[in-house]
Structure 1
Amino acid sequence: MAEQRIDVKKTYKMYIGGDFPRSESGRTYKAVDSDGNLLANACQGSRKDFRDAVKIARGAFGGWSSRSAYNRGQILYRIAEMMEDRRAQFMQELGPIGFKTSEAEADINTAIDRLIYYAGWTDKYQQVFGSINPVASSHFNFSMLEPTGVVAAFAPEKSPLLGLVSLIAPIIAGGNTCVILASEEFPLPSISFAEVLNSSDVPGGVVNILTGYREEIAEHFSTHMDVNAMCYTDELPKEMKKMIDENASLNVKRVIKRPVRDWYSEEAQTPYFVTDFQETKTTWHPVGY
């Protein structure tokens, strides 16, 4: 009688600079289903991985931020199109981690719709939130929004697909680049989403997705001097929040705390999530010149 075959479990790699590297440390950890059974292996990202991702995100920022708002909208819409083609793959990954069939379908549908929502805002938020300011001199005075730069974010633990997409979309819609740590407990949908990004029109380095342990990487997120802003959605331990706030002050990082209770609700999408990662630039111009 033939011996029972042992399945070869996939190792899900990280997504950095448009490539899928393993962790430089060579470490992995087990990704399990809702019953604790092994699904696959995920890379355990390190400080070096994060530093590499930030460097690449910074290099991609100039090209991405200088693209027209209309073109960024086209690219977000293209991501949504590619997600439509990957429905079966996402269904296979959401089911084992506790999503019922109807819940998985709703998660995928809402993630696609969210990308389209922010695609529509890319060429509109400037008109809505910019302004022409009255001044007591013969000058025009304009306030315009400009992207912050490199944003580091923690994806929500219990919403590994929709929550991840809901964080990434407004960040890149506004011309920023990002480094995001996927759900520690359920990392697989995030890397499948990275495969969607890789096959779409998003330039390499605009979105970088790491997997690993939040407690290990959080300090590096908050102390890196080339990170301009941070964002997290889950209620973090008090000590971690204090550490992030203190470290962020070293280079005046903007820290966005976004405790979304329901990722399907209206509170989970708003153009203000785009402006959270924008800086206001005011310019003066003499009248008549």
Structure 2
Amino acid sequence: MPERLAVRKTYKLFIGGAFPRSESGRSYPVSSPSGETVNASLASRKDARDAVRAARSAFPKWAGATAYNRGQILYRIAEMIEGRREQFIAETRDAAGVDAAIDRWVWYAGWADKIAQVHGGANPVAGPYFNLSAPEPTGVVAVVAPPDSPLLGLVSVVAPAIVTGNTVVVLAAEDHPLPAITLAEVLATSDLPAGVVNILTGRPAETAPWLAAHMDVNGLDLTGATDPELATAWERDAAENLKRVLRPSPDAIDWSADPGTGRMTTFLETKTVWHPKGV
């Protein structure tokens, strides 16, 4: 019997809750931890625009959901990752990192209905008024995922952005996109509304400039930008419409450490309301 030719699997993008091919038709080979070679879609400028459009369409409903509901949905995602734990371990060869990623989802789920209490409140003012400050989501956030931690790092930048009501377009780690792709499969079958998280695979150097300059993107997380010159260029592009920008850390990030609340508050706006007390 003649030797069979291997059928190499091609993983697709995750946009608007669906798995489309890149409009460019391009893909690139990726080596899995087991040594198997598969293809990942190579996202284009058009794919980035489509992802932003999906994120913008999903934003009003997601931002308008109750904090308790968002927390429930994030917790459900953690449950589903737990159910595919062995697959994630096979893709990362890091059982401790997979467990930490599950715990990180649960941790952020618990913050959903608490962040407003910690970073909002009643302000003391002179006069017969209530003065209340409350955090609100920024909008659509573009995220360059960290290449050194393709699952725990990915969860650590996505979860804090969406738990507060933002929607995201994520550029997965170029050389290790499989955990992001598997996470997309989890999100697609969870209760997360379509478009809240959109995942693009390929070269961030090719797609990030279009997201940084996109006028319908409100925030830019450059955590995974490893080239300082590119990061500076993207930050300069983001200034065109005054995006909130999270700069890459100059030091290595310990993704297993307590994340704190900083990544949640970076992409929040504070709305202050005055109301008369009456007599």
TM-score class, shorter-chain normalisation, is over 0.9
2:88·2:179 contact (CA, 8 Å) conserved in 1? yes
Aligned partner of 2:255 in structure 1 is 263
For normalisation by structure 1, the TM-score amounts to 0.92
Assess, with a 3 A threshold, how the Cα gap between structure 1 residues 12 and 255 changes in structure 2: closer, same or farther: same
For normalisation by structure 2, the TM-score amounts to 0.96
- In the alignment, structure 1 segments of 5+ residues that lack a partner are none
| 1:195 maps onto 2:193 in alignment | no
1:156·1:234 contact (CA, 8 Å) conserved in 2? yes
| 1:78 maps onto 2:70 in alignment | no
- Pairwise mapping of residues 196-235 of structure 1 onto structure 2 (< 5 A)? 196-234=186-224
SS of the aligned residue for 2:142 comes to strand
SS of the aligned residue for 2:240 comes to coil
- Pairwise mapping of residues 105-254 of structure 1 onto structure 2 (< 5 A)? 105-234=95-224, 236-254=226-244
Moved over 4 A (4+): none
The separation in 1 between residues aligned to 2:188 and 2:20, in whole angstroms, is: 13
Aligned partner of 1:42 in structure 2 is 40
2:44·2:207 contact (CA, 8 Å) conserved in 1? yes
How much does 1:230 deviate? 0.4
Bigger Cα displacement from structure 2, 256-265 vs 174-183: 256-265
Bigger Cα displacement from structure 2, 49-58 vs 269-278: 269-278
Aligned-residue identity in percent: 53
How much does 1:34 deviate? 6.3
- In the alignment, structure 2 segments of 5+ residues that lack a partner are none
The separation in 2 between residues aligned to 1:278 and 1:55, in whole angstroms, is: 20
Q: How many residues align?
A: 277
The separation in 2 between residues aligned to 1:186 and 1:194, in whole angstroms, is: 14
SS of the aligned residue for 1:179 comes to strand
The separation in 2 between residues aligned to 1:162 and 1:74, in whole angstroms, is: 20
How much does 1:91 deviate? 2.1
SS of the aligned residue for 1:249 comes to helix
**What amino acid sits opposite 1:136 in the alignment?**
A
The separation in 1 between residues aligned to 2:215 and 2:19, in whole angstroms, is: 25
Aligned partner of 1:21 in structure 2 is 20
The separation in 1 between residues aligned to 2:172 and 2:231, in whole angstroms, is: 18
Aligned partner of 1:275 in structure 2 is 265
**What amino acid sits opposite 1:243 in the alignment?**
A
Assess, with a 3 A threshold, how the Cα gap between structure 1 residues 129 and 110 changes in structure 2: closer, same or farther: same
1:30·1:38 contact (CA, 8 Å) conserved in 2? no
The separation in 1 between residues aligned to 2:231 and 2:206, in whole angstroms, is: 14
**What amino acid sits opposite 1:26 in the alignment?**
G
Alpha-carbon RMSD across the aligned residues, in angstroms, is: 1.4
The separation in 2 between residues aligned to 1:38 and 1:118, in whole angstroms, is: 34
The separation in 2 between residues aligned to 1:255 and 1:159, in whole angstroms, is: 21
- Pairwise mapping of residues 84-95 of structure 1 onto structure 2 (< 5 A)? 84-94=82-92
**What amino acid sits opposite 2:16 in the alignment?**
G
**What amino acid sits opposite 1:50 in the alignment?**
A
The separation in 2 between residues aligned to 1:246 and 1:221, in whole angstroms, is: 12
The separation in 1 between residues aligned to 2:17 and 2:58, in whole angstroms, is: 11
